[in-house]
Amino acid sequence: MTREEIYEHLAQVYLGKKTKKKKKYNFIKVILFANLIAITLLPSFYLFNSKTSQNIKKQEQSFSLSLNYYPLRFVYNFKNGAPQVENFSLHLPTVNVTNYDSLVFYLRGKNHLAPRILKIALENKKKEKSVYYFDKVEAKWQKITIPLKEFKDITDWTNITKVSFIIEAWNTDETKGSVLIDDVHFYAKGGN
């Protein structure tokens, strides 16, 4: 008997302490059990992961056009001798928007002198140009969503180069005023 075993036996006899027996693990059983769990859980992990990646593909997407963290203030003045059309354009590096559904932006007339109608134009690299007229400019923020199918004169959506906002003198009640435009982006709903 070793010294440790003698001390354990004396402690058990005189103090009534029971010694803890060390459990011996059968490493073969542990390895088999771990493999069984891995084989069982691996297919379910794969299915979960594939469903998650499909859901990510179905989520909404957006491509934003930066306006330097502040709304764009678009001022127009159609007084004597001034041009009768004011135009602000966002020139883009060639952008492919075939996977997007709509053009979205926020719009606000600076005050009650806002124009009645704002003309929005898209242009592609082939110089195809299409316009959409928005006729309810108000003196409060509005989210404007224009389906791309409304821009009927554009056939190639792979090379959009310009988004323009246009105010024409004949579509305003006042000869001068301003409009705020913010968060211009192309938007895609998720797939079904």
Q: What is the pLDDT along the chain (192 residues), one digit of tens a residue?
A: 787 777 777 777 767 655 555 555 566 776 766 666 666 655 554 444 444 444 434 345 655 555 566 788 888 888 776 678 888 888 888 788 888 999 999 998 877 666 778 899 999 999 999 999 998 888 889 999 999 999 999 999 999 999 999 988 887 877 888 888 888 888 887 643
Which positions ≥6 away from 187 have C-beta within 8 Å? 60, 61, 62, 63, 100, 101, 102, 103, 104, 145
Please tell me whether residues 14 and 88 are part of one structural domain. Answer: no
| H-helix segments, 59-186 | none
Total length of the chain: 192
Please tell me whether residues 66 and 144 are part of one structural domain. Answer: yes
Q: What is the CATH number of the domain that holds 76?
A: 2.60.120.430
Please tell me whether residues 16 and 36 are part of one structural domain. Answer: yes
The domain of 7 spans: 3-58
pTM equals 0.63
Tally of structural domains, the chain = 2
Please tell me whether residues 110 and 145 are part of one structural domain. Answer: yes
